[in-house]
Amino acid sequence: MAEKDNSHAYWKATIRLLTKILIIWFMVSFGAGIIFVDVLNHIKLGGYPLGFWFAQQGSIYVFIALIFYYAKKMNELDRQFDVHED
């Protein structure tokens, strides 16, 4: 029974992490690139409107950062629940 509880806790933590990452992904790609683009375009970054920058380049940088963050956090979760690979 303890193994089942441990497995349940592991997947709950994994789903929680994925939910957070997907919310950030949605806010950056859809929010900053489409919904809030008019508001963000009043701010300039390198001479370009910020909304345009997010739609063209900024979201890619955030996505790459999310990949590294996900890998780091999953390694921590794997070690915490003793399911890591050596």
pLDDT digit of tens for each residue in the chain (86 aa)?
667 788 899 999 999 999 999 999 999 988 888 898 899 899 998 888 988 888 888 889 999 999 999 999 999 999 999 888 87
Question: Phi first, then psi: what are they for 71, rounded to 5°?
Answer: -60, -45
Residue 84 has what pLDDT? 80
Name the β-bridge partners of 49.
Answer: 44
Residue 60 has what pLDDT? 92
Residue 2 has what pLDDT? 66
Q: Which residues contact 18 (CB under 8 A, 6 or more apart)?
A: none
Residue 76 has what pLDDT? 95
Q: Cα(68)–Cα(53) distance, rounded to whole angstroms?
A: 22
Judge contact between 66 and 21, C-beta under 8 A: yes
